[in-house]
Structure 1
Amino acid sequence: MFEDRPDRDVEVVLVGRSNVGKSTLMRELTGHDFSTGKKPGVTRQPNHFDWASESFMFTDLPGFGFMSGVETDQREAIKTDIVRYVEEHADAIVAGVLVLDGKSAVDIIDRHTERGEIPHDVEMFEFLVDVGIDPIVAVNKTDKIDDLDGRLDAIADRLGLYPPWQQWSGTIAPICAKRGEIDPLRACLRDRFHEHKRDDLLKFVS
């Protein structure tokens, strides 16, 4: 089970499969470099980033799903820990950001669906909703996508959000963390802070 969580009242969590760019996104949000690796599953414990004078933090939770060299039971244990963490701290979490690899997400979701399985990404999206956290879907690596609108429509559809994706602009944020292009995500986070009457946090996503 994850331990050593800083005592903070408000939290934004990043969740998603391994290797979708969560650590890179954390760097863009916080200005602090986190270890990133080509090999999926580098992050096994949450990365918290907080400010000494503020009761707020960003948390990058470990990646779930396939990880090279990681046994199935260990993958399941990590996923269970993620679910428990979110459930336990749901009252403090003002935004749950599901990070997807925009290039591969649809294929992965469809592959699981065809096998009769609930895709991890869909399951995590629905889980956030179930525990009362309004999800934001950060569709990363947009620099590798040719027909971006078509891809975003397909992702919205897979998550049960009726296309066109533009009507979900408060939920779906196309980004390219590697290039520092995350303004759509910042806009979604500003909306969540405002909804929770925490305009004092807007400075973190300005």
Structure 2
Amino acid sequence: MFESRPDREYEIFLLGRSNVGKSTLMAELTGHAVETGQRPGVTQAPNHFDWTHPSMVLTDLPGFGFMAGVSEADRERIKTDVIQYVERYADHGLVAVLVVDGKAVIDIIDRHTGPDEVAHVVELFAFLQDVGIPTVVAVNKMDKVDDRDERLNELCDRLGLPGPWQQWQDTIAPITAKRGSIDALESAVREHLHEAGRDDVIGLLF
């Protein structure tokens, strides 16, 4: 399922845990209907969508973490497949969008952080830096968050980014994909492309 990929020069990756709204964000960005649901783990193979230009593909990668009806062994396999896919096509990657649930992300990170454990979100963020893909953390479902600035500052702290979060607006993008509120994400992606000298690509995306 991870072997097929459209022959495109540029790729933007959407990654994150299950049920954080990646597929909803994909639908908002592309205008394509995407299978979504309340049950975690609906997406178990990459969804590829052409995005505004023949040279571009936007890829919604399967979430990892809890998935209803999916064994632990299969969850680990999917996680490994996601990592290997990004490594394989990193040279094509313009930006990676790491989607998190703004209401739950701090609790999830803290629950899975310990002497012998690194939370998936933190691990994935570091991995994307290591492979050299500019990364935007799309902090989704912010309409459900009351303490917005405090929550975003805490997320920066967990990711090793010195606060306040406002100085990381090219990396931390508060959004509500279900309501179409994704301006912060689009702005952050534009900034990364500009910094990379790829202003020519911005016109292909937005």
TM norm structure 2: 0.95
State the match for 2:6 in structure 1: 6
* Separation of aligned partners in 2, 1:28 and 1:21: 11
State the match for 2:22 in structure 1: 22
Q: Which runs of 5+ in 1 are unaligned?
A: none
Question: Partner letter of residue 133 of structure 1?
Answer: I
Tell me whether 38-47 or 107-116 shows the greater mean CA deviation: 107-116
Using a 3 Å threshold, how does the CA distance of structure 1 residues 53 and 134 change in structure 2: closer, same or farther?
closer
Distance apart, 1:153 and its partner CA: 0.3
Q: Which runs of 5+ in 2 are unaligned?
A: none
TM norm structure 1: 0.95
Using a 3 Å threshold, how does the CA distance of structure 1 residues 53 and 30 change in structure 2: closer, same or farther?
closer
State the match for 2:63 in structure 1: 63
* Separation of aligned partners in 1, 2:204 and 2:60: 16
* Separation of aligned partners in 1, 2:45 and 2:68: 17
* Separation of aligned partners in 2, 1:80 and 1:105: 21
Alignment coverage as a number of residue pairs: 206
Question: Partner letter of residue 98 of structure 1?
Answer: L
* Separation of aligned partners in 2, 1:22 and 1:51: 16
Secondary structure of the equivalent of 1:117?
coil
* Separation of aligned partners in 2, 1:53 and 1:177: 22
State the match for 1:120 in structure 2: 120
Using a 3 Å threshold, how does the CA distance of structure 1 residues 164 and 40 change in structure 2: closer, same or farther?
same
Question: Partner letter of residue 203 of structure 1?
Answer: G
State the match for 1:46 in structure 2: 46
Matched, 1:129 2:124: no
Tell me whether 196-205 or 58-67 shows the greater mean CA deviation: 196-205
Distance apart, 1:193 and its partner CA: 2.2
Distance apart, 1:68 and its partner CA: 1.6
Alignment of 1:1-206 (within 5 A): 2-51=2-51, 54-114=54-114, 116-206=116-206
Secondary structure of the equivalent of 2:90?
coil
Report percent identity of matched pairs: 60
Secondary structure of the equivalent of 2:48?
strand
Question: Which portions of structure 1, spanning 4 or more consecutive aligned residues, are displaced by more than 6 angstroms?
Answer: none
Distance apart, 1:52 and its partner CA: 8.4
